[in-house]
Amino acid sequence: MRTRIATPLLLATACSLAAATAQAAEWTMATPYGDASFHTQNTKQFAEDVAEATDGELTITVHSGGSLVSHGEIKPSVRRGTIDAGEVFLSILSNDDPIFEVDTLPGVAGSYDDAYALWEATKPMITELFAYEGLIPLYAVAWPAQGIYTAEPLTDPAQFDGLRVRAPNINTQRFVDNLGGSPTETEESDIPTAFSTGRVDAMITSSSTGNSMAAWDYVTDYTDANLWLPKNIVFISQRSFDRLDEATQEALMEAAARAEERGWQMSRDNNDESLAALKENGISVSEPNADVAAALQAAGDELFTDWQSRADDEAKAALEAYRAQRGN
């Protein structure tokens, strides 16, 4: 009978493997939004929930405000493994597939209930597209409905002609083009400077962003046009996830489900709070008049026609399933 003798090298290797297995995981996460954003607050609460649920076996350090990675580089950085997790404005990915911009089509989802139903209908396709790149979507949360901030009352569609409008994604840029404006891509953190230097005359965004960015310092009016309810999406690296033990994986996914539920309610609450803050700080909040509403509708119809020409059958089927479910 032969006796196996454990060499020092084998013992050292075994100990190293055991230590690696037992070692707590430390993840890095990037988000483009500042700490004043309810999205960032929700994301940081998610990280705290994960640490508590796993007894510190998984900690997530959230780097906000684009301090670690710029908005456009967050998804590539997670894909490459430079960071473990990220949060982005979903429609910033519209160049990858038209399904990512469906929540920025005017008239498709005009309420929180509609926006959530749209997310449920499109989530399987979005999850599949992320999986192709080694990524796992954890949750998505809507922004309040988008409106238009201007430095004067918006009463005539002719005011859009040549108007330099901050548009954060390609679909919003197309919308501004359809209105006759000049779309300008500006990071959220650069909005005040863009207005003060004249690079931007107006912006399409939510009550929430206007509040967190103190829009009353550079605009006077907010047209609450209820254009669409876009979403942020939080996602992780499949490789990072696979390194976790099963219990930690389950705790992570449970915390993500709570973050999604909490985030949608935070968005509703923040919309009410932000509209009140805008008014309290002197911004005139109003709905579009008939002429402006008609111009917005026409620009939106053109945008939807363009989307249909680019979307594949799976994306169109997801939208139709949503519409059938909502009866619209």
CATH number reported for the structural domain that contains residue 307 in this entry = 3.40.190.170
What pLDDT, on a 0 to 100 scale, did the predictor assign at position 185?
85
Measuring CA to CA, how many Å separate 90 from each of 12, 97, 171, 242, 282?
46, 11, 11, 24, 31
CB 179 within 8 A of CB 299: yes
pTM: 0.88
What tens digit of pLDDT does each residue of 266-281 get?
999 999 999 999 999 9
Q: How many CB atoms lie within 10 A of CB 3?
A: 4
CB neighbour list of residue 79: distance below 8 Å, 6 or more residues apart: 133, 134, 135, 237
Three-state DSSP class for 110?
coil
Residue 16 forms part of a structural domain: no
**Six-digit token string for 45:** 């609460």
What pLDDT, on a 0 to 100 scale, did the predictor assign at position 242?
98
Residue 12 forms part of a structural domain: no
Choose among 236, 224, 235, 232: nearest CA to 264.
232
What pLDDT, on a 0 to 100 scale, did the predictor assign at position 326?
85
What pLDDT, on a 0 to 100 scale, did the predictor assign at position 282?
98
Residue 64 forms part of a structural domain: yes
Total structural domains within the chain: 1
Helical spans, DSSP H, in the chain: 8-22, 38-53, 71-80, 112-132, 170-179, 191-196, 207-212, 238-242, 246-280, 290-310, 313-326
Three-state DSSP class for 214?
coil
Q: How many CB atoms lie within 10 A of CB 9?
A: 8
**Six-digit token string for 267:** 């968005």
Three-state DSSP class for 35?
coil
d(CA 132, CA 84): 16
Residue 224 forms part of a structural domain: yes
Residue 313 forms part of a structural domain: yes
What pLDDT, on a 0 to 100 scale, did the predictor assign at position 17?
41
What pLDDT, on a 0 to 100 scale, did the predictor assign at position 189?
78
Residue 110 phi/psi, 5-degree rounding, is -110, 10
Query: Residue 79 sits in which domain range?
Result: 25-326
Three-state DSSP class for 221?
strand
Residue 19 forms part of a structural domain: no
pLDDT less than 70: residues of the chain: 1-22, 328
What pLDDT, on a 0 to 100 scale, did the predictor assign at position 10?
40
**Six-digit token string for 262:** 């909490």
